[in-house]
């Protein structure tokens, strides 16, 4: 999860988030090189009092500074389109979870199981146990197995919401009357926190999301225990 004074992204916990981090680093490197080049040109123009008359009407130079930015944009756009395609691709998920946004809590339903559904509310400050995170802990966590593609169907019952977990590279709008979907795949066990990222009302920041990724054996034990209770 994020920590105070953090300047970068959270550590990637899914292949999609790793691709997003690589795209970010790639784009920032291009921007850095362009900024250095422009700063160098500005410095030369300030320090050089003479004007080279041959460059004021040079067709070749105009052609270069028109084509070169187009090439740079293509170098950024092509990896971006690739990551966008990977984020929207849903292929043979092992598990399907339906997330329904309410004012102001989330409801989850494991559609592959019978009667496996629950509401997830934020734990109030006075009810937190030792070591729990304020405004981020929930009374029921979404448990998923690691290394298993999980499809999440996202919608809302009342107003616009947004189901977002930064460490997994997921941010999907929950729209009333519409069913959006996304895929999450965790590469390691752990707890991953998120929040509603849409201004859905006065308490929109109090709709936390907690994803608990476990091994397959522990996930099966959790489902069996939850169905029995």
Model confidence over 55-92: pLDDT tens digits? Answer: 666 678 788 888 999 999 999 999 999 999 988 888 88
Q: Are strands 208-214 and 190-196 parallel, antiparallel or unpaired?
A: antiparallel
Residue 148 predicted with pLDDT over 70: yes
Instruction: Say how far apart CA 225 and CA 227 lie, in whole Å.
Output: 6
Residue 26: predicted pLDDT: 93
The model's pTM is 0.83
Query: What is the percent of the chain where pLDDT is above 70?
Result: 96
Residue 4: predicted pLDDT: 81
Residue 135 predicted with pLDDT over 80: yes
Q: Are strands 170-174 and 161-165 parallel, antiparallel or unpaired?
A: antiparallel
Q: How many CB atoms are located within 10 Å of the residue 157 CB? A: 13
User: What is the rounded average pLDDT of the residues 142-150?
Assistant: 94
Looking at per-residue confidence, does 6 or 12 come out higher?
Answer: 12
Instruction: Say how far apart CA 224 and CA 116 lie, in whole Å.
Output: 10
User: What is the rounded average pLDDT of the residues 89-97?
Assistant: 89
Sequence-separated (6 or more) residues with CB below 8 Å from residue 168: 13, 14, 16, 17, 184, 186, 192, 194, 211
Q: How many CB atoms are located within 10 Å of the residue 75 CB? A: 13
């Amino acid at each position: 999860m994020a920590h105070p004074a953090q300047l970068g992204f959270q550590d990637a916990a899914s292949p999609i988030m790793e691709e997003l981090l690589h795209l970010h680093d790639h784009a920032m490197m291009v921007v850095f090189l362009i900024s250095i080049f422009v700063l160098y040109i500005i410095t030369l123009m300030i320090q050089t009092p003479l004007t080279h008359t041959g460059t004021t009407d040079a067709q070749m130079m105009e052609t270069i500074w028109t084509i070169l930015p187009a090439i740079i944009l293509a170098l950024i756009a092509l990896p971006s389109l690739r990551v966008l395609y990977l984020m929207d691709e849903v292929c043979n998920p092992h598990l399907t979870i339906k997330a329904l946004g309410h004012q102001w809590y989330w409801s989850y339903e494991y559609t592959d199981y019978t009667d496996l559904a629950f509401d997830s509310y934020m734990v109030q400050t006075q009810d937190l146990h030792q070591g729990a995170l304020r405004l981020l802990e929930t009374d029921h966590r979404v448990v998923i197995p690691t290394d298993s593609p999980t499809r999440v169907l996202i919608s809302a019952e009342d107003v616009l919401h947004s189901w977002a977990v930064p460490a997994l590279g997921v941010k999907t709008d929950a729209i009333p009357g519409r069913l959006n979907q996304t895929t999450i795949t965790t590469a390691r066990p752990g707890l991953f926190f998120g929040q509603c990222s849409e201004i859905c009302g006065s308490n929109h920041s109090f709709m936390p999301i907690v994803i608990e990724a476990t091994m397959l054996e522990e996930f099966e034990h959790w489902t069996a225990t939850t169905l029995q209770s």
